[in-house]
Structure 1
Amino acid sequence: MLNDEKSLNFIEEIIEEDIRNEKHAGKVLTRFPPEPNGYLHIGHAKSIVLNFGLAQKYNGRTNLRFDDTNPVTEETEYVESIKNDIKWLGFRWAEELYTSDYFETLYAFAVKLIEKGLAYVDDSSSEEIAAFKGTPTEPGKPTPYRDRSVAENLRLFAEMRDGKYPDGDKVLRAKIDLASPNMHLRDPLLYRIKHAHHHRTGNKWRIYPMYDFAHGQSDSIENITHSICTLEFVPHRPLYDWLIDQLEIFPSKQYEFARLNLNYTVMSKRKLLQLVNEKYVDGWDDPRMPTISGLRRRGYTPASIRNFCERIGVAKRENIIDVGLLEFCIREDLNQTAWRRMAVLDPVKLVITNYPAGQTETLTGENNPEAEGGEGERSIPFSSELWIEREDFMENPPKKFFRLAPGLMVRLKHAYIIKCEDVVKDAAGNITEIHCTYLPESKSGEDTSGIKVKGTIHWVSVPHAKTVEVRLYDRLFNVENPAAETDFKSTINPDSLQIIKNAYAEPDLLHAVPGKGYQFIRKGYFTLDSKTTTADKLVFNRTVTLRDTWAKELRKE
């Protein structure tokens, strides 16, 4: 026994049984086969973690195979983005392959089926083919072309390859069973004509294999032992097996698991492409998108996504996962890895009247108190003029308000205890300055004042503050299942992005780098935006709030 059976998912149980029986010589070879027609999303991440994780666990290998059989929608840009995403998640593939590598072999397979009387060229239109297929309760009927001779089918198929016929004029179909209760076995399409430029083979091919034909045969060519698909491919499995059996090739086997469904999210590539093309989002890597590149730009870490995929497990039944679990995983990771920094997003000036004007002192703060040793310290400049959050002051506070108010004391994080003495207002009655005094003997780490305060607030020294742009991202949709709506775009959350042009940050954030997580103390987790940051303007994206604010709102309802 390779592992405790109680801890195994059903695919691991199958693999361990195969290994015990020395099936496939005890080897495990999986594959991740994306179509390069868009960017990968969090659902693909589950498949990546599963396929690569199984190979790692059982000392096997995983191939990356691009299912590039539809030249109209596929681009090299998508190929490169997919490779980058897999590497970023922490995985390396054994071989980089393309279904287009096998076009000649697949063509030969199709010829073999024709020669065996198991495939024929059909001139029917798509509407006619659908009508002749029947219904789930009524058998189909043969089209007039089903009984063409082998010789005629070989000639016509060769002419299809040579480009003699226009798109849609003919297709190649398998000859199986028009009365089968499984509609996928009622003479499925194997090849269609497409006069389109392919991103790798150029204009060499005028016919392209259908997914159901290319999928299993490509698995077999590569000697894939465990072909892992999502549940919608369960009814396709009999065709997968039939083709392999009739072609007498390596017996790859298909196994299905439940795909990842997240609430408050759409996962359809078609819908995601709509959001991009219609400018609802800033590209495939918009931080509100569920794409891996969007999550990366937002500040999610590879470890948090892998942890999320492992937590949700591998099931045989569809269910919807709460996006709050994904947010929990990134909070859990960033709490241990993110450096703490201070930034003020809605500033009001605080003046310490008894601190020497023009004086500056250097305070220190741990980079991460949750990490062993704190991961070192950074220097924080302090002066008599500070920016604080406007919400941290109330002129007429309610009971149990433990922040700043006239006559109340708070501690400035890493600094001193201060007491509010007065406020300055403009002609409209808006507070422009808060005047305080400080206790020199109350310095953090050296406090001899004997005074205990209940509140601590963050701050940034005015003369040292760096102006930054902060983008507060939230969930893109307002409803749990936007895909179920008649117009899913009508459910977009209008508050999914709030841009703060002039926030103030402590100067150490000048050294921030994309991909590194920072906790803006009391405000959330942030990362430097990799796309819009310039030497003259730092832009920070909020990865996630410190707490699950959505759960709080739901409790109110």
Structure 2
Amino acid sequence: MPILTLQDGTELSGGGVLTHLIATHAGFEAPATKWANRAIEFSSVDFAVLRSLLTDLDRHLTLRSFIHGYVPDADDFAIWGAIRGNKAARPILRKFTINVARWYDQIESSTPWLETCLEEFNRHSSDQRMAASSSGASYEIDLPNMSGPVVTRFPPEPSGYLHIGHAKAALLNEHFAHAQPDGKLICRFDDTNPSKESQEFQDSILFDLGLMDVVPDVVSYSSDYFQVMYELALELVQAGKAFADDSELGKGDHDRRNRLPSKRRDLSIEETLGHFAEMKEGTAEGQRWCLRARIAYDHPNGTLRDPVIYRCNLQPHHRTGKAWKIYPTYDFCAPILDSLEGVTLALRTNEYRDRNAQYEWMQQALGLRAVTIWDFSRMNFVRTVLSKRKLARIVAQGRVWGWDDPRMPTIRGIMRRGMTVTALREFILKQGPSRNILNLEWGALWAVNRKVIDPVAPRYTAIDVQDVIRCSVSGLAAQCSAQRPLHPKNPAMGTRSLTYADVILIEQADAETFEVDEEITLMGWGNAFIRSIKKDEASSRVSAVDVELHLDGDFKKTKKKITWLASVPGEESVALDLYTFDFLVTKDKLEPGDDLEEYLTPVTQTVVRAMTDREIRTVQPGTTVQFERKGFFRFDGFDQDTGAMVFFDVPTGKA
């Protein structure tokens, strides 16, 4: 962070430096306020962060012409400069914050001298953004044929829950749409396969996008265009660019692989129209046929070997019911709807790269506006299944509790495990739109998450119930209690009551390490000497410990910091179930030919019964806490049978 020392010895840092420099140029004194210090925050490229900041500013400007009244000052110029230098911020203020938009235009029109400050300020903002990203991900991609507002689309199929791989596509599309003025994000449900899709999955996808703070400007459905696409398919047939085929259900794939023409490839337009009509009616004869584009059966690119564009399916559609018996394939649907809906940038994972030529052929053959394509790499993680078919199998076999199980890579699953929206967005946006294919480690994502939860997770103590040790404490005048901070570095979080008693409970694992006359530290209390250790003759396990308080001792000199709970007659402890989880599969990367069953992890969860004091009762479901010396845990709810509070271990990225 830059530090500027003035002639009088005053030191300025961060936003204060910028405020002083701008104020000096303008010829007035620069008051130090919270807005000046927040200037750098407005250089963020995260949509959710920016929207929150601009909403705060909008509220502040409701009854004000400028930040401090009727005349602009250094705070106005510092914030304005940050917004002016951030392409992601400007479209947000136009759409969501009318007061900020008014203020922004007024600053720009009334102070032309600010232009001389912009070059340096923008450079500083850029440096801040790069410093904030350890990966240095670049969003400056080469996009020919691009002009005007950026319109992107996120096209999920409503046949499953969103997973971590979908999150990258959703956030990248949102980023590019909202990084320019007047951009737009379309969420288009690719609901063209009624055999796999449902309203449940459709609703869940919208909900999961909301969890990630992704708010589409438009929600559309491929099913809204069934009639349009049917008519365009007829155009292809009538132009001689499509033919009906009944070999698809037999040896069609074999012919394509071997670059052989279908025996129906030379079918006449009239015959094709007749078979297509049978398909549309869903007759027994029609169900034998499909419609294929007539491109090039012997093309080196397999996706251009007369791909299927329509199939019969008598399954009722969750939105259109029984109105249709034929459905377009994704490869036919995507290029048409991208063009019709005004998409200007189609972001696709690079598994579709071979299909780009097919995408372009469809638009050219139908005389539609061409859409620019950019490929980006899928986000794969080690020991993780992202195939919806395989995930559905895992759910169906009862190996997990459901799609929101904390072991699942779904958005709901990882958030139930304890992932925060802030960390997820930051991690994915740092990856950028790169085309490099990587198998990422989960630890890297959870390490980002730890930085988010550590400053705000309240601290509690939990003791394993199995073989718990009663420890007698001498040197305490009387049982008492005191208020201790919920977080040692965040006093704003408040306090909790901690009871000190002459009998405390400690864990067997700790007691087994003690030596007589050793000095230890009782965390949150002080030092104590181990005066006696009793063991069970049969098991050789510790059965009791006596300690003597030595509160004047130096905790820095003790090797063992011990967690404990007071044992108070009449006060019941609170039961906890602490869950830890393993990966669902044992192999870092499953290959296409691998048998899923062979690589499923036999045991993927363990549960430890623990206890704590009643202070934990104030914690609400969904809250992440830290049990000292155990780690971070997210409170999921209560066990319906035992009433125990259920906590899920939150990984931290450490080995």
Matched residue, 2:533: 423
Is the counterpart of residue 526 in structure 1 residue 633 in structure 2?
yes
| Counterpart-to-counterpart distance in 2, 1:518 and 1:451 | 24
Matched residue, 2:241: 118
Matched residue, 1:129: 252
Q: Deviation of residue 346 (structure 1)?
A: 5.0
| Counterpart-to-counterpart distance in 1, 2:425 and 2:365 | 39
Q: 1:178 to 1:27 in 2, by over 3 A?
A: same
For the 8 Å contact 1:533–1:539, the answer to whether it is kept is no
| Counterpart-to-counterpart distance in 2, 1:483 and 1:458 | 46
For the 8 Å contact 1:49–1:306, the answer to whether it is kept is yes
For the 8 Å contact 2:241–2:295, the answer to whether it is kept is yes
Cα deviation per residue 1:55-85 (whole Å; 9 max; x = unaligned)? 2222422111111111111122211221111
457-466 or 270-279, which deviates more: 457-466
Q: 1:166 to 1:253 in 2, by over 3 A?
A: farther
SS at match of 1:114: helix
| Counterpart-to-counterpart distance in 2, 1:309 and 1:262 | 12
For the 8 Å contact 1:335–1:370, the answer to whether it is kept is no
SS at match of 2:153: strand
Cα deviation per residue 1:3-55 (whole Å; 9 max; x = unaligned)? 8899786764235x666xxx2xx111111111111111111111112111222
Matched residue, 1:445: none
Q: 1:488 to 1:387 in 2, by over 3 A?
A: farther
| Counterpart-to-counterpart distance in 2, 1:102 and 1:213 | 12
The partner residue of 2:188 within 65, 68, 75 is 65
Is the counterpart of residue 140 in structure 1 residue 285 in structure 2?
no
For the 8 Å contact 1:182–1:235, the answer to whether it is kept is yes
For the 8 Å contact 2:139–2:432, the answer to whether it is kept is no
SS at match of 1:13: coil
Q: Deviation of residue 154 (structure 1)?
A: 2.5
Matched residue, 2:151: 29
Listed as ranges, the matches of 1:336-351 within 5 Å are 336-345=455-464, 348-351=468-471
| Counterpart-to-counterpart distance in 1, 2:367 and 2:286 | 31
Query: Could you list the runs of 5+ residues in structure 1 that have no partner in the other structure?
Result: 398-403, 443-447, 550-557
Q: 1:336 to 1:147 in 2, by over 3 A?
A: same
Matched residue, 1:180: 299
Cα deviation per residue 1:145-195 (whole Å; 9 max; x = unaligned)? 323332332233223112223674000111112222112111111100011
Query: Could you list the runs of 5+ residues in structure 2 that have no partner in the other structure?
Result: 1-84, 88-121, 131-135
Is the counterpart of residue 74 in structure 1 residue 197 in structure 2?
yes
Q: Deviation of residue 374 (structure 1)?
A: 5.1
SS at match of 1:39: coil
Is the counterpart of residue 413 in structure 1 residue 535 in structure 2?
no
The partner residue of 1:14 within 98, 123, 142 is 142
RMSD: 2.7
SS at match of 1:305: helix
Q: Deviation of residue 213 (structure 1)?
A: 0.5
Listed as ranges, the matches of 1:82-93 within 5 Å are 82-93=205-216
Q: 1:51 to 1:532 in 2, by over 3 A?
A: farther
Is the counterpart of residue 94 in structure 1 residue 212 in structure 2?
no
Q: 1:524 to 1:493 in 2, by over 3 A?
A: farther
Is the counterpart of residue 438 in structure 1 residue 549 in structure 2?
yes
SS at match of 2:300: coil
| Counterpart-to-counterpart distance in 2, 1:175 and 1:29 | 31
User: Which one-letter code corresponds to 1:387 in the other structure?
Assistant: L
Q: 1:532 to 1:108 in 2, by over 3 A?
A: farther
Q: Deviation of residue 256 (structure 1)?
A: 0.9
Q: Deviation of residue 535 (structure 1)?
A: 9.4
| Counterpart-to-counterpart distance in 1, 2:203 and 2:480 | 49
| Counterpart-to-counterpart distance in 1, 2:227 and 2:300 | 33
The partner residue of 2:600 within 492, 496, 512 is 492
Q: 1:229 to 1:388 in 2, by over 3 A?
A: same
| Counterpart-to-counterpart distance in 2, 1:522 and 1:105 | 62
172-181 or 120-129, which deviates more: 120-129
Is the counterpart of residue 40 in structure 1 residue 162 in structure 2?
yes
Listed as ranges, the matches of 1:376-387 within 5 Å are 376-387=494-505
Listed as ranges, the matches of 1:244-263 within 5 Å are 244-263=363-382
Q: 1:244 to 1:146 in 2, by over 3 A?
A: same
SS at match of 1:499: strand
For the 8 Å contact 1:350–1:436, the answer to whether it is kept is no
Q: 1:9 to 1:216 in 2, by over 3 A?
A: farther
Matched residue, 1:460: 565
Matched residue, 1:206: 325
User: Which one-letter code corresponds to 2:309 in the other structure?
Assistant: L
TM-score scaled to structure 1, two decimals? Answer: 0.86
The partner residue of 1:503 within 600, 606, 610 is 610
Identity value in percent = 31
450-459 or 259-268, which deviates more: 450-459
Q: 1:386 to 1:313 in 2, by over 3 A?
A: farther
For the 8 Å contact 1:75–1:199, the answer to whether it is kept is yes
| Counterpart-to-counterpart distance in 2, 1:531 and 1:295 | 19
Q: 1:120 to 1:492 in 2, by over 3 A?
A: closer
| Counterpart-to-counterpart distance in 2, 1:147 and 1:11 | 47
For the 8 Å contact 2:519–2:529, the answer to whether it is kept is yes
| Counterpart-to-counterpart distance in 1, 2:528 and 2:604 | 36
| Counterpart-to-counterpart distance in 2, 1:452 and 1:190 | 72
Q: Deviation of residue 207 (structure 1)?
A: 0.6
332-341 or 199-208, which deviates more: 332-341
| Counterpart-to-counterpart distance in 2, 1:333 and 1:263 | 23
User: Which one-letter code corresponds to 1:187 in the other structure?
Assistant: D
Q: 1:450 to 1:529 in 2, by over 3 A?
A: closer
| Counterpart-to-counterpart distance in 2, 1:365 and 1:200 | 56
User: Which one-letter code corresponds to 2:292 in the other structure?
Assistant: R
